[in-house]
A and B are shown apart, each in its own frame.
Chain A
Amino acid sequence: MSAIVRSEEVRARGPENVSAYLYIAPALALYSVFFLWPLAQLIYLSMVRWDGMAPKVFMGLQNYRELLASDPRFWLSLQHNLQWLVGAVSVPTGIGLFLAVFLARSPLYGRLAFRTIFFLPQVLSSVVVAIIWRWIYSPDFGALNAILRQVGLASLARGWLGEESLALPALFIASSWVLYGFCMVVFLAALQGIDEAYYDAAKVDGANALQQFWYVTLPAIRGPLSTVILLSAIGAFQVFDLVFIITRGGPAWATMVLSVYMYDNAFRYNKLGYGSAVAIVLGVLILLFSIVFLRVRERLEAA
């Protein structure tokens, strides 16, 4: 007798259940030890004061109180993460979509070549990306200012990573350099699945290009679009590598983000309890965002 049932036939049988648990066991074991348990520990750690050596001192919700009520750097970091959401996710996603729409109409051979090229930055490690862009932005020896000076726009050459208002946008560009390819590739594939017939029908009804986009294109790629947005948004909340390697959160906290703030507190200031509180807040934010996003998506799909 097989333990396999189809969902229409719900049968909870005693002995066969053991095999189900056996199938789940390896995954569950690893997941519990290296994810669930540390998560529980993290929650506990966020409520103590600990420098890594002396005994832990239980403090209840003191860390959270301090974090939320009297830590401007926390709120500044959060703000930057939200700005990252806009500047390094929404904008590139929009541009990627735009490009994909254009490219979907072009001949197959060119499309494949472009697709390969655009996707290339995705396979690089963040360290390589960081090295490349840090050098590009270097004020005296880097590529960007060198170009500006050569084309006679020397007045535009500036210290990109040194000005508070420019550093974060500079990081957005570096980050989206990597993201464009991902968006474009996914959207292209989705767009190719749309039947020309729909476009023809829309044209017959008198729809212009924009209306065709809104009524035919967008609904058809809703699934992949929302997945890309969700994944990139989670990425925007947990961004670490680029900030850590290129600006370290500077200048003067202008590019500080939550994950780097957590790292600094835990590993540089020896405030492991406080750092854990930051981590928990970050985790909760991501969780909430995902839940809200998925709910909204469900509602829209039901409509």
Chain B
Amino acid sequence: MKRGGLAVVTLLLVLFLPIASVLVAGCAAQPTPTAAPQPTAATEATQAPEPTATTAPEPVTLQVWYLSGSPEEIQLLEGLSAKFGEAHPGVKVELSAYGYDDMNKTLKLALDSGTGPDVAYCSPGGPFHLAYAKAGHIIELTDIMKERGWDQKHPADAIAYWQKELGGPIYGAPYDVTTVGVYYNKDLFSELGLKPPETWEEFEKLIATLKEKGHTPFAAGAQDGWPFDHYFMALVHVTTPANKIEDLNYVKPGVKFTDDGFVQAATILNGWVQKGYLNENFLAASADDQAKLFTNGQTAMTIAGTWNNFTFVKQSSFKVGFFALPRVDPNIEWRSMLTPNNVWVVSKYSKHQDLAIDYVDYMMGEDVAKALWDSGDIPTFKFATPPKPTSDLQLDVYQATQKTGVGYYFNVNMAEVGDIEIAALQKMAAGKLTPQEAMATIEEAHVKKLAETQQ
């Protein structure tokens, strides 16, 4: 029986060696994604010539993936895409919306496999669109940008922001900016005779007053992690010099989480938690809960990103205002987490690259910028004459973007450190770590990450 067993194994190896070698070849070679055929099922995509006025064009479907959590924003984009379709006979745009986690995971896997959309509005930066560029999945936009004049219509440094480390080439083009700051209930403020603070002391007094009068100052969705992290990061921007944050963002040595600015930000946040300034059970609330608590008027303020403008403008039954966090340290430059939002990229595997570029060009154009503006967003487009704000909220946000300098989501380039940061903050908020200990925990992971990147 033993010899028979050996015979069988040999037989197996001989039989399946050809299959195995195919797989080995496939795996040893880097996943070289070839232009895989467009997926079957729903798309009617066929090879279409550039639609000209004279020929009747074949029907083409352009696949666009859009990163947004706001139903209002998605609706707006669907409308704009339909308009693009109308201007290009025979073209239909199929827009798929994705949340942050879903987009990053799905787009990466799709591009790795040579499939995916023609155009994506995706997360920017090192682990995202720059990684896709490095892997050869998306086309370089530098020359296209110059041809189509995007660098005239938009501030050059806004376009360059998310690819600074490349020192010139552009792979993704943003079309709006966002920041993180304080949304507040204007009606409640006027009722209590409060106004947006100019200094940090005023801010602290304001929060205390709200609490005294029986209102919950802040809403946070710490269960999802990142909303609470945004509180921390926003505070860091008003306690720490900008150059330090920038170095941290680009994973340069010389900055430590245990430095004063970071510890101070953590201490402030911890103080808020201890004094009950956050919604009860904030550790179990989701990002969505956070938004709902604010728009329902259950908290007076919330520190959140201005991508919420689309939603807050429509969903609140009261007047909503916005102000940037005042500086804790008056000697530093006034910064907030002001950055271009996400970026438009074009897939190398698109069968309709010219059309895809036209679509992005349309998105970078004035019509779209006007539509974004009208729905409360802050586009990067340089209007000849500044349009009138469509709401007080938008005016507030716009002023905040003018008053503060650029900021950073400084753990974006260090995914694992980001998770550890969130976990440390959650533990701190639960009373298990002091602010110093929390920062030390993050710094431990940071040091490891620095060591890795030096190799």
Q: Which of A103-145 contact B (CB under 8 A)?
A: 137-141
Whether B14 sits at the interface, judged by CB under 8 Å, is no
Are B225 and A158 neighbours in the complex by a CB distance under 8 Å? no
Q: Which of B21-63 contact A (CB under 8 A)?
A: 23, 27, 30
Interface centre among A41, A139, A157 (most CB of B within 10 A): A139
Interface centre among B23, B135, B284, B419 (most CB of A within 10 A): B284
Question: What secondary structure prevails in chain B residues at the interface with A?
Answer: helix
Are A53 and B30 neighbours in the complex by a CB distance under 8 Å? yes
Q: Which of B266-303 contact A (CB under 8 A)?
A: 279-286, 289, 292-293, 298
Whether A250 sits at the interface, judged by CB under 8 Å, is yes
Residues of chain A within 8 A (CB-CB) of B424 are 252
Q: Which of A81-89, A161-169, A233-241 contacts B (4 or more CB under 8 A)?
A: A161-169
- B281, B293, B419: the one within 8 Å of A162 (CB): B281
A33 to B12, CA, bound (A): 12
Are A250 and B19 neighbours in the complex by a CB distance under 8 Å? no
Are A250 and B225 neighbours in the complex by a CB distance under 8 Å? yes
Are A250 and B426 neighbours in the complex by a CB distance under 8 Å? yes
Whether A269 sits at the interface, judged by CB under 8 Å, is yes
Residues of chain B within 8 A (CB-CB) of A159 are 223, 280-285
Residues of chain A within 8 A (CB-CB) of B4 are 12
Looking across the interface, which residue of chain B has its beta carbon closest to that of A145? B281
Whether B166 sits at the interface, judged by CB under 8 Å, is no
Are A32 and B19 neighbours in the complex by a CB distance under 8 Å? yes
Looking across the interface, which residue of chain B has its beta carbon closest to that of A164? B430
Looking across the interface, which residue of chain B has its beta carbon closest to that of A38? B23
Are B423 and A253 neighbours in the complex by a CB distance under 8 Å? yes
Q: Which of A177-220 contact B (CB under 8 A)?
A: none
Are B282 and A267 neighbours in the complex by a CB distance under 8 Å? no
- A29, A33, A162: the one within 8 Å of B222 (CB): A162
Are A251 and B289 neighbours in the complex by a CB distance under 8 Å? no
Whether A283 sits at the interface, judged by CB under 8 Å, is no
Scan B164-185; emit 1 where CB is below 8 A from any A CB, else 0.
0000000000000000000000
Q: Which of A253-272 contact B (CB under 8 A)?
A: 253, 264, 267-270
Whether A64 sits at the interface, judged by CB under 8 Å, is no
Are A251 and B222 neighbours in the complex by a CB distance under 8 Å? yes
Are A138 and B105 neighbours in the complex by a CB distance under 8 Å? no
Known: A32-B19, A250-B225, A251-B426. A137 touches B105 (CB 8 A): no
Are A162 and B283 neighbours in the complex by a CB distance under 8 Å? yes
Are B286 and A138 neighbours in the complex by a CB distance under 8 Å? yes
- B223, B282, B298, B416: the one within 8 Å of A269 (CB): B416
Whether B415 sits at the interface, judged by CB under 8 Å, is yes
Whether B192 sits at the interface, judged by CB under 8 Å, is no
Are A250 and B423 neighbours in the complex by a CB distance under 8 Å? yes
Looking across the interface, which residue of chain A has its beta carbon closest to that of B7? A17
Are A161 and B112 neighbours in the complex by a CB distance under 8 Å? no
Known: A140-B289, A252-B427. A269 touches B415 (CB 8 A): yes
Interface centre among A33, A141, A159 (most CB of B within 10 A): A159
Are B430 and A163 neighbours in the complex by a CB distance under 8 Å? yes
Are A251 and B286 neighbours in the complex by a CB distance under 8 Å? no
Are B222 and A139 neighbours in the complex by a CB distance under 8 Å? no
Are B281 and A158 neighbours in the complex by a CB distance under 8 Å? yes
Are A252 and B426 neighbours in the complex by a CB distance under 8 Å? yes
Whether A160 sits at the interface, judged by CB under 8 Å, is yes
Give B103 Cβ to nearest chain A Cβ, in Å: 13
Whether B20 sits at the interface, judged by CB under 8 Å, is yes
Give B285 Cβ to nearest chain A Cβ, in Å: 6
- A157, A162, A250: the one within 8 Å of B282 (CB): A162
Residues of chain A within 8 A (CB-CB) of B284 are 137-139, 158-163
- B127, B135, B279, B426: the one within 8 Å of A140 (CB): B279
Looking across the interface, which residue of chain A has its beta carbon closest to that of B289? A140
Are A140 and B285 neighbours in the complex by a CB distance under 8 Å? yes
Whether B134 sits at the interface, judged by CB under 8 Å, is yes
Cβ contacts A to B, 26 pairs, < 8 Å: A32-B12, A32-B16, A33-B16, A37-B23, A53-B30, A139-B285, A140-B279, A140-B285, A140-B292, A140-B293, A158-B281, A158-B284, A159-B223, A159-B284, A161-B223, A162-B223, A162-B283, A164-B427, A247-B223, A250-B423, A251-B222, A251-B225, A251-B426, A252-B424, A267-B105, A269-B415
Given A163-B430, A270-B127, output 6 extra A-B contacts at Cβ < 8 Å. Answer: A138-B289, A162-B283, A250-B223, A250-B225, A250-B423, A252-B426
Which residues does B use to contact A, with CB under 8 Å?
Answer: 4, 11-12, 16, 19-20, 23, 27, 30, 105, 109, 112, 127, 131, 134-135, 222-223, 225, 279-286, 289, 292-293, 298, 415-416, 419, 422-424, 426-427, 430, 432
Can you list the 5 inter-chain pairs with the closest CB atoms, starting with the nearest? A159-B284, A162-B284, A162-B283, A159-B281, A139-B281
